[in-house]
Amino acid sequence: MIEKIHEKFLNNHYEFSEHALNQTLLCQISVSEIKQAVLRKLIEDYPNDKYGPSCLIFGLTQQKRPLHIHCSYPTRPLIKIITVYQPSSKLWINYEQRRQRND
């Protein structure tokens, strides 16, 4: 699945939700950074998400900025970027695995 997501991004077949657009502005995340980070690793899969199947991707920008991109499956004509954010090390181990609440 990650290969199909990469292909969609490389061909500019994606769109932003209003929330994702707001997050990119608020956190000063550029489209270029998102494209760099999305070409990395799928870390969580949500096949039964209430708004449709989606997944969480982790990647680093060229400047080593960690980003999480929550997006729809590539079965849509355009991938929907649901949200994008810089993960907190307080909530994530190496930005790829959720910490237990008691950590």
The number of folded domains in the chain is 1
Is 101 inside any structural domain?
no
Residue 65 confidence (pLDDT): 95
Residue 79 confidence (pLDDT): 95
User: What secondary structure, in 3-state letters, does the chain show?
Assistant: CHHHHHHHHHCCCEEECHHHHHHHHHCCCCHHHHHHHHCCEEEEEECCCCCCCEEEEEEECCCCCEEEEEEECCCCCCEEEEEEECCCCCCEECCCEECCCCC
Q: Which residues form the domain of 8? A: 2-96
Is 17 inside any structural domain?
yes
Is 83 inside any structural domain?
yes
Q: pLDDT by residue (tens digit) across 8-17?
A: 999 999 999 9
Residue 39 confidence (pLDDT): 82
Is 77 inside any structural domain?
yes
**pTM for this prediction:** 0.91
The answer to whether 64 and 53 have CB atoms below 8 angstroms apart is no
CA atoms of 4 and 18, how far apart (whole Å)? 23
